[in-house]
Amino acid sequence: MIRFLKGLVLLPVAVLVILLAVANRAPVTLSFDPFSEVPAFSLVLPLYAIVFVAVALGIVVGGIFTWLGQGRVRRTARSRGRTVRRLEEETTRLRAAVPEPEPVRPGLPARTALPAPR
């Protein structure tokens, strides 16, 4: 079901991306020198390539900042994982130290505590 929904969303996105690339294939000069009439460094690329690179760069930079921002959450998760493992080991050790309860023998009443004095 999830694959179907993913395909249902990604197919129109792919069609739009292809239409954008076909409609904007004219060359555009990308200049990195805003102060000169003849830029020292410039690229002539199709407009869709510039848009795709800008989007990809935005995704990468956003992912890096998200990863850096979640450092505290990852640190807390590691700490809690260590605590859980330590407590599970302690529980296993304590269960091994406690003697097994006597099995209830059929036909005999189970041991119960004496009634409280009145």
Cα(20)–Cα(12) distance, rounded to whole angstroms? 12
Asked whether residue 33 is domain-assigned, the answer is: yes
At residue 35, the pLDDT reads 83
- Structural domain boundaries enclosing 71: 10-97
Asked whether residue 117 is domain-assigned, the answer is: no
Asked whether residue 18 is domain-assigned, the answer is: yes
Which of 17-21, 43-47, 85-89, 109-113 is modeled with the greatest confidence?
85-89
Domain count along the chain: 1
Asked whether residue 38 is domain-assigned, the answer is: yes
Asked whether residue 116 is domain-assigned, the answer is: no
Q: Is 112 helix (H, G, I), strand (E, B) or coil?
A: coil
Q: Is 0.75 surpassed by the pTM of this model?
A: no
**pLDDT bracket for residue 39 (50, 70, 90):** confident
